Each structure stands twice: as C-alpha cells, then as structure tokens.
Amino acid sequence: MRAHVLKAALQAIEDVGFERLRVKDIADRAGMSTGHVLYYFGSRDRLLVSTLLLSEADLDERRGAELDGLPPEAALARLVELYLPTSAQDVRWRLWAQVIAKPPSDAGTLARLDGFFRSWAAELAGIARRLSPGLDADDFAVRHCRLMDGLASDVLLGTGDAARARATALAAMRRELATAGRSS
C-alpha cells in the first residue's frame, strides 16, 4: 500500500522530473487524491524520504544478489558503478541531495539512512578484505564510500561527469589496495 505510492513517486519523478514534481503527480499515478497521499505520509518531505528508503532498500537487495558470485576485482568495479550516480538526473541521488538539504529530524529515519550507508560500507569492506587481507578494511570502506559521496555531489552539481567519477573512485581504491599489498 505505502509501497504502491512509493512506486508511483518514482514513476512520477521519471515522468515530470525532480524540479517539477508535485504531490498531485504522485497521487494521480497512484490513483488517489493528494489528501490521501498526505494522510499516509504526513508531508511531501517525509514522502520523499520514504521514497529514498525504498530506493535504497531495492538497491541493497539487488547489490547483494549481483555481487555475491563475482570475483573481488569485478565486484569492486560493479559496486562502484552501482553506488555512484549514472548521471546528474539519477533519481536515487537526487533524493539523497534533497534529504541532505532538508534533513529529517526523526531519529529513527536517520538511523535507517545511516544503516544503508553502513550496509554499503560493509559490502565494500568484504571485497577489500578479499583483495588485500592486511588492510584495515572497515576504515578503507568508510573512507572510500565518503569519497564516492563527494564525487557524487560533483556529478549532481553538473560540474563533473559520471564516468570520471567512477574512474576516480576505482583508481583511488586500487591504488590503496595495491600499496597495502606491498607493505604487508
């Protein structure tokens, strides 16, 4: 039910774009009235946060399924692709930008958002551990996820392009994995 609205929200963003998105666009696509949508979610902002949570949960699942069987080097490259925005219009990242600009005050929601970050970091740490056992994989993972966050904001701004962001992130990771290998 809530999920149905959230799917409609994602569709609406695809259709009308993030800038022009009204809650009516979402309500129409979900086959209900604006009042009803707000009855469920309380406010437009909270609806968008929920949409981000859905989007992250989806990706979390797909990531697990997809990276599971891959050799670590390929998994690393794929994780970077999945994490970073595909373009300045990337819906998931536009939602992140929105949420960071207007952070929810609700502690539970913040915890869930943080949980998704940690999930990414844990996945990256697992790969790093396989590639370079001597490394402090958790620290490595957190730092490089944050690096990708920074690169993502560059892409969202329109200053950098997605391909360069991916290349930069991968190069940074490989360099550190390599030097760690040398020193061990």
Binding residues for a second copy, per CB under 8 A? Answer: 19, 88, 94, 97-103, 105, 110, 113-114, 117, 142-143, 145-151, 153-154, 156-159, 168, 172, 179, 182-183
102 binds DNA (CB under 7 A): no
179 binds DNA (CB under 7 A): no
Choose the stretch contacting DNA; rule: CB under 7 A; options: 31-39, 67-75, 118-126, 130-138: 31-39
32 binds DNA (CB under 7 A): yes
11 binds DNA (CB under 7 A): no
Q: Are 85 and 153 in contact (CB under 8 A)?
A: no
36 binds DNA (CB under 7 A): yes
Would you give the distance in Å from CA 54 to the centre of its chain?
11
In angstroms, what is the minimal distance from the CB of 44 to a second copy? 14
Among 7, 28, 45, 89, binds DNA (CB under 7 A): 45
